[in-house]
Amino acid sequence: MKKTILFVIDSLDCAGAEKSLISLLYLLDYSEYSVDLMLFAHGKMLENLVPKEVNVLKPLKYTNFARMDLKKAFISSFIKNDYKMLKARIKYSISIRKNNFNNAQKARIFWESISNVIEKNPKLYDIAISYAQGVPTFYVSEKINAKKKFAWVNTSYKLDENEKNFQKSFYDRFNNIVAVSKTAEKILLETFPYYYSKTKVIYDINNPNLIFKLAKIGKSYNDDYQGIRILTIGRLSPGKGYDLALKACKMLKEKGVIFKWYVLGKGPLQKEIERSVKENELIDNFVLLGVEANPYTFIQNADIYVQTSRFEGYGLAIAEARMLNVPVVTTRFDSVFNQMINEKNGLVVDMSAEAVYEGVLKLIENLTLRDEIIKYLMAEKKVMWRS
């Protein structure tokens, strides 16, 4: 009899944890495992990459309710004479508007508001895996019946005392907690030292064969530009350091370098970044491409990959650039040396615009160094995952 596995994640939008999950799903032996996938938001970009053997579960009742506009939600509640979901939705909407909350706080407020209207999954699983912290973890902890439960932590998980106390009761119910890097594990155990015995490291999962295949079939840059292409991938959010990228971009232009710096991503800073691009006259140099479910052809056709993150659980996009033999310039975030060797597979620089600028300029001007890095990357063993 096949073992049953449930994976739970917020959505399959185009980001590191989501791509890691897709890679993992392609590595499973479906003659041995029956796999369900639970999402809290549907219709995102990577859903069409889910293997056909995976059973994507129907949306939760609340998920469908939350997608209605408010007028329809009122009418639906009135017709059914059931106002629990409406009250939960209004409670969350009011609570979330009161302040600028971080992701951990938003997840807590969401769960405190709506958990009582989220139905349990009646199925007994052999293994249930929360593939992201926050709501997926709360859901697997409270609403899933499984012989073993595993929680993935794919970011630097620093929590204040309130969030720590709230989340402890959920993590207590998991058999193991998986961090995606040694650094992520260290920060997790600083927050929850009593989970030392059940915490382990499994680096973000890559499937080289899938990446190489997708790099051959995806679309790429649609301009006729023939100069140096720089690429950055990541959510347009403060943690990704786009302020550093923009300043470094401006310095390169003022230096007279011929280049285009492309960005794959979306997020809350988009309007601010677009405004900065215009104000600094970088329209021809700093190009926002939006998001692509398959970014690998863009990576493969870039000359340099740049990551300006202030923190990363692992840095999956860097791993993907390395896999496609593209030289990397990255800031020195906490977990960077889990995969980077400075001046071997790329350059690791200080977390400043000046350092990013100098690193990128060095790779543009020093063709010998760039060629040496490419040769090193080509010789690197392309692993699926490490633990």
Nearest Cα neighbor of 202 from 220, 188, 185 is 185
The answer to whether the beta carbons of residues 118 and 92 sit under 8 Å apart is no
Q: How far apart are CA 229 and CA 226, in angstroms?
A: 8
For residues 278-296, give the mean pLDDT: 92
Cβ-based neighbours of 123, under 8 Å, separated by 6 or more: 4, 6, 36, 145
pTM of the model: 0.70
Q: How far apart are CA 122 and CA 126, in angstroms?
A: 13
Flag whether pLDDT at 386 surpasses 80: no
Nearest Cα neighbor of 131 from 195, 194, 191, 174 is 174
Please give the mean pLDDT across all residues of the chain. 90
- Which tokens sit at 119? 């139905």
φ and ψ at 221, to 5 degrees? -60, 135
Flag whether pLDDT at 5 surpasses 90: yes
φ and ψ at 52, to 5 degrees? -65, -20
pLDDT tens by residue, 298-315: 999 999 999 999 988 788
**pLDDT for the residue 383:** 56
Residue 124: other Cβ atoms inside 10 A: 11
- Between residues 323 and 382, the one the model is more confident about: 323
What's the chain's length in residues?
387
Q: How far apart are CA 150 and CA 176, in angstroms?
A: 5
Please state, in angstroms and as integers, the Cα–Cα distance from residue 328 to each residue in 91, 153, 243, 365, following that order.
45, 25, 18, 15
pLDDT tens by residue, 177-231: 999 888 889 889 999 999 999 999 987 777 787 788 888 877 899 888 989 999 9
Instruction: Tell me whether strands 346-349 and 3-9 are parallel, antiparallel or unpaired.
Output: unpaired
